[in-house]
A and B are shown apart, each in its own frame.
Chain A
């Protein structure tokens, strides 16, 4: 089990996590990488903002005042 991942690999796992469950080795590797990396946690926060934005967007489809 190789636990060292590059940022490119870690970012790919973060994106994949939006749509499917990661394997245990991937989850462990990702956690280790995030703990040691400055860039990837930012990338993760960007994805989180996107997730919230799409949730809000979905809601707005129904709730907005007529525009």
Chain B
């Protein structure tokens, strides 16, 4: 199969990831188009040692970071209030600092990690984060940028960054708890 077709086959996959990261269809299309162009213009850069998709995702990450960089002003964080974090905390903890309900045993991690459905739910949960919070979280967990880099890119203070990551993690935990670990058993 010609290299162009091989590369094009991964387009929808790359687009899904770019959308998740950028929360903007037009930007995601751009990032993916640039990724495909970069790949097709330098096929010799693919040495075949890694999988083609791994290589493409590597290029896409750079394009996503470029986009975040140039759109810096458009990715301002939500205001501290009104993102529902206080409500979530009140659900999980009682006023005296005890858990409202003891955390569930999530069971065997290997079972979850071996399940494709688990990762579909994980992605859904990330999608349900407020967009700016998701962006910060994904810059850390998916793009693997350092705290310093994220603060610089988004003009955040470290404190603000940690607050956003903290809230994102609490929400994701809650979402997974609800949608994976407490799935009602079949009737």
Contacts and interface: CB of A to CB of B under 8 A. Distances in A.
B46 interface: no
A7 B166 CA distance: 16
B43 to A, nearest CB: 18
A66 B172 contact: no
A38 B97 CA distance: 14
Given A56-B113, A66-B13, A43 B103 contact: yes
A38 B28 CA distance: 44
A50 B140 CA distance: 14
Contacts of B119: 53, 56-57, 60
A57 B55 CA distance: 16
Chain A CB within 10 Å, residue with most, of B53, B58, B122, B140: B53
Chain B CB within 10 Å, residue with most, of A39, A50, A58: A50
Given A16-B166, A18-B169, A42-B103, A58 B113 contact: no
Interface stretch (B67-75, B104-112, B127-135): B104-112
A67 B13 contact: yes
A49 B17 contact: no
B50 A62 contact: yes
Contact of B99 (A7, A9, A63): A7
B172 A50 contact: yes
Contacts of B54: 61-63
Interface of A: 6-9, 11-12, 15-16, 18-20, 38-40, 42-43, 45-50, 52-54, 56-58, 60-64, 66-67
Given A7-B98, A19-B162, 4 more contacts: A46-B177, A49-B113, A58-B141, A62-B54
6 contacts: A11-B92, A19-B140, A46-B173, A46-B177, A58-B144, A66-B9
